[in-house]
Amino acid sequence: MASNDELICQKFARIIGGQEGFAGGKCVATINRNEIKVKILGKRFRVTSSFSFESRDNQTGRALCLGRVALLQKEVENFVASILKQGIIVSSIHNEWLFDNPNLVYVNIEAVDDPLVFARKVGKALRN
């Protein structure tokens, strides 16, 4: 039988629109960005964004919620504006690869929040 956190993880992934994984008390939802065709050093690279929660407090329901979002440069401004407007911290904006084409930008986000509330906020920002 699934634990309460595992059931929340399933809902979390469904809200974000990602594939759910739960292990060691950590929930991760991964979104494949198949519409972005990227090559690194001339080879196909599969673009993914991931969101997680862990250390959920059983009394308050709040957890450490994190995200690593892969974006095209033209998507960064709207995503960051939406995330900040919803009270989520943007902890870094950076590239990870030197020879990617087109260039990807990664935005890391973090909050202590109810995981399902966080998922709805992320979902809204991803749709903007």
Confidence band (pLDDT; 50, 70, 90) for 1?
very low
Which H, E and C letters describe 5-74, residue by residue? HHHHHHHHHHHHCCEEEEECCEEEEEEECCCCCEEECCEEECCEEEEEEECCCCCCCCEEEEEEEEEEHH
Q: Which helix (H) or strand (E) holds 84?
A: helix 73-85
Share of the chain above pLDDT 70, in %: 98
What tokens does 87 get?
């009270």
Q: Where are the domains of the chain?
A: 4-127
- The tens digit of pLDDT for each residue in 25-42 reads 899 999 999 999 999 999
The model carries a pTM of 0.94
